Structure 1
Amino acid sequence: MSSSTAVRQENRSVAGLQSPVEVLIDFWGVPHIYASSRRDMFFTQGYIAARDRLWQIDFLRKHRLGKLAKDFGPAMVERDRAARLFAYHGDLEREWASYGPEARSDAKAFVAGINAYVAEVRAGKQPLPEEFKLVGTQPDTWEPVDIVRVRSHALTRNVGSELKRAQVACAAGLAADKLRAPLSASSSTKVPAGLDPCSIPADALRDYRTALNEVTLSPDGKVAALDSDFNFFAETGDFNRNGSNNWAIAPSKTATGRPILANDPHRQYTVPALRYISHINAPGYSAIGANEPFIPGIASGHNGKIAFGYTIFAIDQEDLYVYQTHPAHPNQYRYKDRWEDMRIVTETVEVKGEAPRQVQLKFTRHGPVTYTDPNNHRAYAVRSVWSEPGTSAYLASRIYNTGANWKDFGEALSRWATPTLNFVYADTDGNIGWQVAGLAPVRPNWDGLMPVPGDGRYEWSGFQPLDKLPSQLNPANGFVATANEMNMPADYPNAQRKLGFEFADGSRANRIQSVLAAKAKLTLQDSMALQMDDHNYLAERLTGLLAGVSPTDSSLKAAVTLLREWDKNDSRDSAGAALYQVWTSRHLGRTVVEAVAPKASAIIGSGNLGGIVDYLETSRDKAQRERLLLSSLSDALKDVERLLGPDMRQWAWGKIHRAAFQHPFAAMGHAASREQFSIGSLALGGSGQSPHAASYDSRTFNVTSGASWRMVLDVGEWDNSRAINTPGQSGDPHSPHYRDLFPLWAEGQYIPLLFSRAAVESATNLRMSLSPES
């Protein structure tokens, strides 16, 4: 950054803007928006998001609202039908009211801004993004209701796990399922009365999977296709692949005497990035941080008075219902003592190259029908909070964006429904806090861990109010921290503990809490280092089981020694980390599952590493444990030798563990597309069990998910705050901000998250003056 760098000036007249707006784009591509009204602020936020991310937000809208066939042809008709099942179909007046009195006007302004930019592109005033050119499509205009009708980005969990648990119960009994998805301490489950787990087909969630599947493009770029890998988090809820970290530190434990708040939410890596950083200002409204680019407001950040960040808290917001259908009338299902009609909605799907098609959406009283089995007279539907008003993810963040204290924050979170989160909080008065928020179904007579009959015996009974969910203000230890672990307090009432049972294993949480507790006075640098901390607490537990193991084979003995002496840090130059990760991701789990639950091995696969370690630690058969450890380690040793050569001194985790996430167009057939959209590949440390979250595909070891957005806030001296996005702010491969943050992110570096007007002015690279079109 250099104050002598010439600031570029760009003047634009924008249709729909009501008053002049200044947008200062800093050296890192972050827009700082200064408007004279709330309406123009949100209008400009939408306009600038479209400027930087038009292909991304257009594709997401079409993807999630079932409008892909119009661009990509008949292969997408079934995909569109499934997506429409999970859009919001309820009362729009109640929906808008759920987000506060200004929700509709804010969304209307934001969408008007998107549409203003779309109109400029379609008129040739702004360049058409490369992706549209390659596939021969155009961006669509939005309606305000599009923002609230989208539901499927909310991560509600755990219906995919329910189906898997039923399959495991059928094949090998419920005890075996602990290897796949261990439950929180002291939790157990049973097969619900009236359910035969062996009667549930693997396709029971067919349309759910289809609706949530990622979409990729074929090499010619002309036909879209469903990705064969269903969204892993939605399927299993494995927080070691998709989790998050956050903490807030009280003034008594910081070197400055000011609170520190840190957040690094983890999700699947995408190009462009899932999140977008912006700074929005208008009279009575000033907030900076990140949100998904098609949502108005700031979800993770601060407003100059309070700071806020989040991680997922595992409230279970969905269930799979199983119905008996009428033999002669398959659109009727048994409910209590009668046959009830499914509600059938007919919609029109536009199809490229063909006449529009009519599709039918079927619903039971519980939710969308995801599969019918006419031969066995069964139907399956998903009940989810998505059908409830107010459950469009992150839209309620606008409410706490204007909060001034803990009370305001709590009142805002009383409207928060999805996703279910651990919020951490800090303010300029020195307070810190933690509050769980989200719509929490009350299940009076079951735990939500398995499918249930849809005949009326298993019904939700309202939702837990916010004041019944866990929270903490100004704890005595001087910090709050969460990492998706089971963190309900010991004194939390038993009657309310059925919020959810499938949490992270605690590896990241234990490391974070131990680091924060160990130092009397913590700094911003400490928090940045902790976000990049490679220590693997779960590896301490697992390698501890090798203490009494003495293999006779010299190579295997060397492998055991390497793991014992390894510092348990998944650093990119570590030989021990390379062996450990190959062992645990490709060999250990599969070996244990095949030995312990062979009848369910095809369903469980490699299992959940935390569940595998739990089993090995508690096994009374020490001879079997040693055989499992050594046989799987022997296989892993050969695997690493194939990957990295026979010399252990040359092994390094970062040689195979690489950040190589790609724009969908980088995989297309012609070299020009690959080159212009490519991000590159960089060595990375971390893993799914370390605070430096960097989960990977075990087939390639390429990093697939982790923290695209990191922030560390100096609460009260806001210009000291730091953040990073990856690979860049822009989705335009010709922009200098398309991939500029990627090397900084990979090295654990940050950019300033500037808040004061003076600091922003000093870092401005582009000054955009927007005026109403005359």
Structure 2
Amino acid sequence: MQRLVSAAVLAALLCSTAAIAAPRQETLSVAGLAKPAEIRIDRWGIAHIYAADTRDAFFLQGYNVARDRLWQVDLWRKRGLGLLAKDFGPDYVAQDRAARLFLYRGDMAREWNAYGAGAKDNTEAFVAGLNAFVDEIAAGKRPLPREFQIAGTTPDRWSADDVVRIRSHGLTRNVPNEVGRARIACAAGIEAARLYKHIEPKWETKVPAGLDPCDITEAVLGDYELATRGVRFTGSQAKLAMLEIPPEAIGSNNWTVSGSRTASGRPILANDPHREHSTPSLRYIVHMEAPGFSVIGAGEPALPGVSIGHNGTVAFGLTIFPADQEDLYVYETDPKAPGRYRYAGGWTDMTTVTETIAVKGEAPRKVDLHFTRHGPVVYADPAKARAFAVRSVWAEPGTSAYFGSMGYMTAKDWPSFRNALSDWGAPSENQVFADTKGDIGWVAAGKVPKRPNWDGLMPIPGDGRYEWTGFLKLDELPSTHNPASGWFASANQLNLPADYPYAERKVGFEWSNAARMRRIEEVLAAKDKLTLADAMALQTDPTDVTSRRMNALLAGVKTDDAKLASAIALLRDWDQKTSADSAGAALYEVWITKHLGKAAVARAVPQAARAAMGNGDIAAVMALLEAPDTSLGADPVAARDAILSESLLAAFGEVAGKLGPDPQAWAWGKLHQARFDHALTPKVPAAEREAWSSGTTPMAGTALSPLAATWRPNDYRVTAGASFRMVLDVGAWDNSMAINTPGQSGDPASPHFRDLFPIWAKGQYVPLSYSRAAVEAATETVISLQPSGEANTPSR
């Protein structure tokens, strides 16, 4: 509580200081702007845009994004459209080809119509603003940003279609899990996959009729992983990166609480989406005002509007609802003509699209892209007469990731909010709601395929026996409006109601570990009068409730080994908080992340399946240890206790090797640290390099605490978590708080490049100023913008 109070005091002092100092004034003449406008940049780098109409508001959003994040969004576009080789050379031809497999290739009129009125116009305005900034650079009116100078590239112009055609950023991915499960089934039978991923609700999957799991190798994932990964540079260029998005990094927390359960009598809505950390941040906070239009919050910088925030009447936030939105199809191909595949008793030709990829320093290359009736062919094995294609929701019209927020961000009540989500495509989300009338609610939204005769957990034959028969309607997915409890929360856990017909609808079976939700639930249920400070404390709560279950198991372990006894005692006396100064947290997190699963898999899984299994899923491992069975051998309890003892001793040894033999000197933050380096850091001159980093700080938290801080096992570095947090006081909007990290700007020379990192690392927040008076009080810079009278040249 003390650190949260200090956060509010800090915010007030900073706001007061900003109000006393006269804002810096800047005047710009901008081609393409229709009428005079103003952008106020506050003390924390947040842009507040005041425009004469909605079109100019979106135009200036794009212009301002380019001002702060041009390198980031330019790389996002080039990666998504398959244009990397043009800038970076022949090493990127394969990734460009893979990205192009997943571009939306359907009718663009259907695509734009799926997002509702205004979506295309607003996006055209947004990219016109981006292009205006790019044109200023090309004309020599602005310097080429430093990132481009170092990379040896220049920014491209955009079209509106670019924003929505990119689909390789889709997040609800389970094709790798289908492949992993098939590899295990080939090696040791599907029964051996029980520790691979925790399946909920209780379900027994089977190998689909007609599928030989041994047809599926790890090589099948090659193009799929190229298309969905970030941009990597090798050799002398080290590593550039778009965001890597490992499945365990994709999560979030949100909750909406009725005024009947808050101290103010007003609803509180909180959201902290979790993704891989980066410099610049994945999220960008913006405030846009025009007559009849108002919105503030965060979104991804390459997308118009915001997906998390409020509009002065309605507040909204999201977390992943882990529906199964894709399938891997396996085809028998014609040995004499590999471009044909068996379907419905006959042979069907694949569709082939030939494209040209521009290559820096070389002649352009032609590549062939192959498609079946289900989707892009990601791998072919002519020797076995097999081909593999991905069918995904995110190839359907209206499923550009997060772009559907264009519909709901202007909703003014529950019916209009819910109605806007009837067209939400991807990723599938838990959308929470609160409004100034006091209503709260939740909608699980997204396109969920109907699979009449399989469960989606394994690849399936593409011969016509396994076809989607449409999508579940919004009314077939769960929701709640003004729940009797007075609150609703989600953390990517299984949240289908007890009476939900999951066996019929098969929404999905691979949900996130419920640990974060259990802690959120126990705190909210115990709070009759929640405050904003309580909500911020919960977002930054480092409690890992799984430790209670593991301590219960350790209580039955008997040992004469002094080190093991010391380890058990350390965890027994630990408060279950993964604080940066905690010795117990260091031992526990290393144990369950690196050693416990490995030991369980070695006992319970046949040798042939272990490579595909990895360390198993910790939820599945804990479930087995709590109910040991003969998969562990003739004496399951003894085997279970051996797993606990051996793995805990190994973890104790690892931590002692890193931090010394005395547990009193251990601290989780000595291992678990956050440092976010810019992708270009390896190419930056040594004298500049430190300025391109966030700096380094010890971190509390873990993947299983509300304070999400997923870490890399090889060096304990924090890799994923909540780069953006928001707590909204619905109706008293200026009380709302938020934080981004490491900063709003992507320019290492900007004072807002990493200024928020130390605030974020301490679990603190800054004001999310909304009223004109609050914005003016916090203003650091005023940018007055005038139309230049010069028309932008049309984008391609």
- Is 1:262 aligned to residue 277 of structure 2? no
Superposition deviation, residue 9 in structure 1: 0.6
Conserved 8 A contact 1:213-1:226? no
- Is 1:87 aligned to residue 98 of structure 2? no
- Is 1:37 aligned to residue 53 of structure 2? yes
Superposition deviation, residue 644 in structure 1: 0.5
- Is 1:514 aligned to residue 522 of structure 2? yes
* One-letter amino acid of the counterpart of residue 149, structure 1: R
> Which of 210, 232, 235 is the equivalent residue of 2:246?
232
Superposition deviation, residue 632 in structure 1: 0.9
Give, in whole Å, the separation in 1 of the partners of 2:682 and 2:517.
36
Conserved 8 A contact 2:241-2:679? no
Q: Which residue of 1 aligns with 2:717?
A: 702
Conserved 8 A contact 2:245-2:276? no
Superposition deviation, residue 91 in structure 1: 0.6
Q: Which residue of 1 aligns with 2:138?
A: 122
Against the structure 1 CA distance between its residues 172 and 668, is the aligned structure 2 distance closer, same or farther, given a 3 Å change threshold?
Answer: farther
Superposition deviation, residue 697 in structure 1: 0.3
Q: Which residue of 1 aligns with 2:178?
A: 162
Q: Which residue of 2 aligns with 1:372?
A: 380
**Paired residues for 1:303-702 under 5 Å:** 303-494=311-502, 496-597=504-605, 598-620=607-629, 621-668=636-683, 670-702=685-717
Against the structure 1 CA distance between its residues 207 and 31, is the aligned structure 2 distance closer, same or farther, given a 3 Å change threshold?
Answer: same
Against the structure 1 CA distance between its residues 495 and 561, is the aligned structure 2 distance closer, same or farther, given a 3 Å change threshold?
Answer: closer
Give, in whole Å, the separation in 2 of the partners of 1:646 and 1:629.
21
Deviations, residues 588-616 of structure 1 (Å, cap 9, x unaligned): 11111111113211111111111111111
Superposition deviation, residue 654 in structure 1: 0.5
Deviations, residues 631-661 of structure 1 (Å, cap 9, x unaligned): 1111111111111001110000011100112
**How many aligned residue pairs are there?**
766
> What SS is found at the alignment partner of 1:762?
helix
Structure 1, unpaired ranges of 5+: none
Deviations, residues 342-362 of structure 1 (Å, cap 9, x unaligned): 100011111101111111111
Conserved 8 A contact 2:440-2:481? yes
* One-letter amino acid of the counterpart of residue 595, structure 1: R
* One-letter amino acid of the counterpart of residue 331, structure 1: G
Structure 2, unpaired ranges of 5+: 1-13, 630-635, 790-796
> Which of 28, 37, 51 is the equivalent residue of 1:21?
37
Q: Which residue of 2 aligns with 1:103?
A: 119
Q: Which residue of 1 aligns with 2:3?
A: none
Q: Which residue of 2 aligns with 1:770?
A: 785
Give, in whole Å, the separation in 1 of the partners of 2:107 and 2:155.
28
What is the aligned-residue identity percentage? 55
> Which of 287, 293, 296 is the equivalent residue of 1:285?
293
Conserved 8 A contact 1:148-1:392? yes
> What SS is found at the alignment partner of 2:595?
helix
Q: Which residue of 1 aligns with 2:149?
A: 133
Give, in whole Å, the separation in 2 of the partners of 1:664 and 1:543.
41
Give, in whole Å, the separation in 1 of the partners of 2:760 and 2:139.
37
Superposition deviation, residue 497 in structure 1: 4.1
Give, in whole Å, the separation in 2 of the partners of 1:492 and 1:553.
49
Greater CA deviation, 613-622 or 506-515? 613-622
Greater CA deviation, 520-529 or 588-597? 588-597
Conserved 8 A contact 1:220-1:669? no
* One-letter amino acid of the counterpart of residue 408, structure 1: S
Conserved 8 A contact 2:425-2:445? yes
Give, in whole Å, the separation in 2 of the partners of 1:10 and 1:669.
30
Give, in whole Å, the separation in 2 of the partners of 1:496 and 1:667.
52
Give, in whole Å, the separation in 2 of the partners of 1:251 and 1:148.
38
Greater CA deviation, 552-561 or 363-372? 552-561
Give, in whole Å, the separation in 2 of the partners of 1:329 and 1:230.
37
> Which of 739, 754, 768 is the equivalent residue of 1:724?
739
- Is 1:66 aligned to residue 82 of structure 2? yes
Give, in whole Å, the separation in 2 of the partners of 1:175 and 1:691.
33
Give, in whole Å, the separation in 2 of the partners of 1:31 and 1:144.
23
Superposition deviation, residue 668 in structure 1: 3.5
Conserved 8 A contact 1:23-1:768? yes
Q: Which residue of 2 aligns with 1:183?
A: 199
* One-letter amino acid of the counterpart of residue 339, structure 2: N
- Is 1:300 aligned to residue 314 of structure 2? no
Q: CA RMSD in A?
A: 1.4
> What SS is found at the alignment partner of 2:695?
coil
**Paired residues for 1:727-738 under 5 Å:** 727-738=742-753
Conserved 8 A contact 2:151-2:680? no
Conserved 8 A contact 1:288-1:301? yes
Conserved 8 A contact 1:544-1:564? no
Superposition deviation, residue 207 in structure 1: 0.8
Greater CA deviation, 121-130 or 33-42? 121-130
Q: Which residue of 2 aligns with 1:173?
A: 189
Conserved 8 A contact 1:219-1:669? no
* One-letter amino acid of the counterpart of residue 608, structure 1: D
Give, in whole Å, the separation in 2 of the partners of 1:180 and 1:259.
40
Against the structure 1 CA distance between its residues 37 and 736, is the aligned structure 2 distance closer, same or farther, given a 3 Å change threshold?
Answer: same
Greater CA deviation, 654-663 or 321-330? 654-663
Superposition deviation, residue 495 in structure 1: 5.6
Deviations, residues 285-314 of structure 1 (Å, cap 9, x unaligned): 100000000101110000000000000001
Give, in whole Å, the separation in 2 of the partners of 1:225 and 1:651.
34
Against the structure 1 CA distance between its residues 128 and 203, is the aligned structure 2 distance closer, same or farther, given a 3 Å change threshold?
Answer: same
Give, in whole Å, the separation in 1 of the partners of 2:245 and 2:404.
25
TM-score by length of 2: 0.95
* One-letter amino acid of the counterpart of residue 511, structure 2: F
Give, in whole Å, the separation in 1 of the partners of 2:471 and 2:736.
37
> What SS is found at the alignment partner of 2:694?
coil
Give, in whole Å, the separation in 1 of the partners of 2:613 and 2:311.
45
